Amino acid sequence: MAYQPYQASMLALGQAPSIIRETFEYGNRRAKEIGRENVFDFSLGNPSVPAPDSVHDTMRRLMDETDSVMLHGYTSAVGAEPVRTAVAEDINKRFGTGISASDIYMTCGAAASLTVTLHAILCPGDTCMTFAPFFPEYRVFVEAANAKLTVVPADLESFQMNLTALEALITPETKAIIVNTPNNPTGVVFTEENLRKFCDILRRKEAEYGHPIYLIADEPYRELVYDDSTVVPYLPNLYDDTFVCYSYSKSLSLPGERIGYIVVSPKMAQNREVYAAVCGAGRALGFVCAPSMAQRVIADNLGKTADLSVYRRNRDLLYNALTEYGYRCIYPDGAFYLWVQALEPDANAFCLKARDYELLLVPSDSFGCEGFVRIAYCVTTEMIERSLPAFKKLAESYQ
């Protein structure tokens, strides 16, 4: 092979076109042409509500009361001990688990939670699975850990996990499976029944293959559920070999501050060795420690959230209107995405057509599933209201 002045796979990643980014940038150009108020950009999954006031209250208090060298100094690589203790207690209180501070590893957000976990467990030759549709960075993270991603096709009716397809595709090389509920991009919450059946399959396959199959619960949207009847089961209670990858990006509206954690379930086989491998992976990837002030901020704001009622209002408004206009919408129990069947087989063509009505939607292809679009409703309610006639006209244009 010719000498490469750079890592070809990293160059490819750095240059890879992103339909989400491209759509967002199109929206910015279009806003300059016709005015921001006339463009309905539903492309980005960024929290649109402010952090709760208590976050800034904590920051001010920390600055007033804490020695600067302590406040802004390195914490232990795994996170400050009082922070991990508080996080573990909060989890135990909410989910009846028996997690301790030594099962928690504080991270620089959800992406870091995933890359550190994957690097800790995946060996060359291993496969990691996930269910379509899925957050496209899963493929990037798994391949960076020198392993292979296998995608289980979607259940196009319910968008629950397709367990029949899972059983057909799982192999002895399967080391881990990433589960994302509430789900990006569909907004679906996997039911307890679906999850229990899934865990039964994993246990059966663990026994058959004679090695652990890790469940990686990617849960940044855990708190974003809108109906009192919706339950998001805590996976360490259903399956022993579970990691929880969490981030406060969505619950506290702090996505830029890069703060989250990994739970290595204490019920996991070889829990101490696996936790040590997590520490080694964090070190190898260059994380050192999660941002120190942000660690203390979240520890002081456990159980709090940004005002998530806006998302619920947006969901109801959008779901009801689009359903009325004749769109097939998957009912979103959580997250801030509405998953809608495109009005023609090619979701990309449908999204281009939608641009004629200044509607910026993301086609489903990049999520590993054809024929749908993702509508991110983490926007102002007022923009949704103004966009409804455009959605109506778009539907009419297909009649």
Site residues for its own copies, window 259-298 (CB under 8 A)?
269-270, 273-281, 283-294
Out of 28, 98, 123, 324, the residue judged to bind its own copies by CB under 8 A = 123
Strands 242-247 vs 260-264: parallel, antiparallel or unpaired: antiparallel
Residue 239 sits in the site that holds its own copies (CB under 8 A): no
Cβ–Cβ < 8 Å for 279, 350: no
Residue 29 sits in the site that holds its own copies (CB under 8 A): no
Site for its own copies in 142-161 (CB under 8 A): 143-144
Residue 23 sits in the site that holds its own copies (CB under 8 A): no
Q: How many CB atoms lie within 10 A of CB 131?
A: 27
Q: How many CB atoms lie within 10 A of CB 236?
A: 25
CA distance 307 to 253: 9
Residue 67 sits in the site that holds its own copies (CB under 8 A): yes
DSSP code of residue 261: E
Residue 344 sits in the site that holds its own copies (CB under 8 A): no
- Indicate the residue among 106 and 330 with the shorter CB distance to its own copies: 106
Residue 347 sits in the site that holds its own copies (CB under 8 A): no
How many residues make contact with its own copies (CB under 8 A)?
Answer: 83
Out of 23, 43, 48, 127, the residue judged to bind its own copies by CB under 8 A = 48
Cβ–Cβ < 8 Å for 218, 243: no
Residue 74 sits in the site that holds its own copies (CB under 8 A): yes
Cβ–Cβ < 8 Å for 110, 141: no
Which residues, other chains included, contact 310 with Cβ-Cβ below 8 Å and sequence gap of 6+?
A: 48, 49, 381
Residue 399 sits in the site that holds its own copies (CB under 8 A): no
- Indicate the residue among 1 and 96 with the shorter CB distance to its own copies: 1
Site for its own copies in 78-107 (CB under 8 A): none
- Indicate the residue among 116 and 154 with the shorter CB distance to its own copies: 116
Q: CB of 337: closest distance to its own copies in angstroms?
A: 16
> Is residue 203 helix, strand or coil?
helix
CA distance 225 to 251: 11
> Would you say how long the chain is, in residues?
399
- Indicate the residue among 189 and 278 with the shorter CB distance to its own copies: 278
Out of 20, 101, 140, 317, the residue judged to bind its own copies by CB under 8 A = 140
- Amino acid (1-letter code) at residue 8: A
Q: CB of 75: closest distance to its own copies in angstroms?
A: 6
CA distances in angstroms from 192 to 78, 161, 195, 198, 280, listed in the order given: 31, 11, 5, 10, 34
Q: How many CB atoms lie within 10 A of CB 24?
A: 16
Q: CB of 86: closest distance to its own copies in angstroms?
A: 17
What are the phi and psi torsion angles at 386 (to 5°)?
-70, -25
Residue 211 sits in the site that holds its own copies (CB under 8 A): yes
Out of 34, 63, 231, 349, the residue judged to bind its own copies by CB under 8 A = 63
- Indicate the residue among 8 and 168 with the shorter CB distance to its own copies: 8
Q: CB of 300: closest distance to its own copies in angstroms?
A: 15
Out of 68, 157, 229, 345, the residue judged to bind its own copies by CB under 8 A = 68
**Please, which residues bridge with residue 339 across strands?**
330, 374
